[in-house]
Amino acid sequence: MAARAYLAIFRVGVSAALMYRANFLFTAGLTLLVGIGVQSFLWTAVYSGQSSRSIAGIPFEQMLLYVVCATLSLSLTRSGRIERMVAEEIRLGELSRYLLKPVGHAGYAIAMAAAERMVTLPVVLGLAAVAMSSILPVPLAKVAEMLLAALPLLLLGMLVNFLLGLGISYLAFWMDEVWTLHVVKDISLWFLSGQLLPLSLLPSTAAQISALLPFQHLAYTPAGIMAELIPVSALPGLLAHALLWCGLLSCAVAALWRAGIRRYGAYGG
């Protein structure tokens, strides 16, 4: 019964996301093009000063492909409109309408967030395939293999960011405004996720710390697989690491919900 309810929520979310598909394609496409263009210009300037056209053993074309794939990956995994709305619903007392439904609030939110991201996923994978087949170029069979290898990391990256965002929104049970925390998180992810540069280029201590954190799965690991900076043989370990963090974050979010709902007053709802 619950599975059918969440599936229905997912279908409603997909319909809502597609309702304004022209606006979505324009705004998302423009944002991606600007981000990729700025990154490409930056790394072109960096490599132009290198006589060998290589930095830390990474050729220019491979770095350019990584930058494109990392920007695409982060644009997909970082999308968090649904979980941000939760904080406003708590503040305005609108959370009460969800408490009357025969589904859990976190399950409802994740079904809606998954629907929102599933609309974006084919676009991101298609653009990544175009980049992989044109920048290096990579044979189409290899492109399909690399995309399939990166897909589980993208899905887990979506879940990691969703749980981070939902946990921040649940702080609205105790705080009047958490929007600033979401902004700080999003800005931090540009550096922590590996969008600006591969995390393998960080100093050894910083690289070791980043390897322990979950943020790498938002951009670095899927983009590293697609750009062949990370071997496919490392995939099982990366998936286990991402799953571990999903479990830890799920427990933290559940604890915040249980503590917060006990003091929820529905004032203004």
pLDDT at 153 over 90: yes
Average pLDDT taken over every residue of the chain: 85
Q: What is the pLDDT of residue 150?
A: 95
| Sequence ranges of the domains in the chain | 2-261
Tens digits of per-residue pLDDT, 15-27? 777 766 665 566 5
**Average pLDDT value for residue range 241-265:** 92
pLDDT at 269 over 70: no
Coil/strand/helix, residue 96:
helix
Tell me whether residue 140 is exposed, middle or buried, using C-beta atoms within 10 angstroms of its C-beta: 0 to 12, 13 to 18, 19 or more: exposed
Q: What is the pLDDT of residue 31?
A: 66
Q: Which residues pair with 54 in a beta bridge?
A: 59
Split at pLDDT 50, 70, 90, the class of 95 is confident
Tell me whether residue 107 is exposed, middle or buried, using C-beta atoms within 10 angstroms of its C-beta: 0 to 12, 13 to 18, 19 or more: middle
Q: At what angle are helices 105-135 and 235-261 packed, to 10 degrees?
A: 150
pTM given for the model: 0.88
Q: What is the pLDDT of residue 218?
A: 95
Split at pLDDT 50, 70, 90, the class of 79 is low
Q: Which residues of 4-41 are buried (b: 16+ CB within 10 A; e: fewer)?
A: ebbeebbeebbeebeeeeeebeeebeeebeebbeebbe
Q: What is the pLDDT of residue 240?
A: 97
